[in-house]
Amino acid sequence: MQINNHQIVDYDAVLDAKFGAEGTSERAEAEEKAYAFYTGQIIGDARKKAKITQAELARRIGSDRSYISRVESGQTEPKVSTFYRIMNALGCKIEFSMIL
């Protein structure tokens, strides 16, 4: 484990060094993977809270367990329509708001 020693770190510089500067294809790809992972975590957490298995969730949306597994691990990102079906099957409510 690395220790920070209470030094101030510019995390924008860290991200730039690791994934490329903002606007580059490397950074865009890294951000897409991060969003896919985050989406999978949301779905996995909601499924566990609903106390259902991946197989049951798959059955409810007309898919298979391996698809749910890939989504939860961030390997696959569901289409928006599939995301809605998943959230509905889990009893979740999705709200959007416009930031002006």
- pLDDT tens digit string along 71-87? 999 999 999 999 999 99
Given a cut of 80, whether residue 2 has pLDDT beyond it is no
Which CATH class name applies to 11-90? mainly alpha
Give pLDDT tens digits for 33-75: 999 999 999 999 999 999 999 999 999 999 999 999 999 999 9
What pTM did the predictor assign?
0.77
Amino acid letter for position 5: N
User: Would you place residue 16 in the very low, low, confident or very high pLDDT band (cuts 50, 70, 90)?
Assistant: confident
Token pair belonging to 52: 């259902």
CB 32 within 8 A of CB 74: no
**Dist CA 95 CA 93 (whole Å):** 7
User: Would you place residue 4 in the very low, low, confident or very high pLDDT band (cuts 50, 70, 90)?
Assistant: low
- Angstrom distances, CA of residue 85 to CA of 8, 16, 31, 57, 81: 43, 36, 24, 10, 6
CB 38 within 8 A of CB 7: no
Break the chain into its structural domains and give their ranges: 11-90
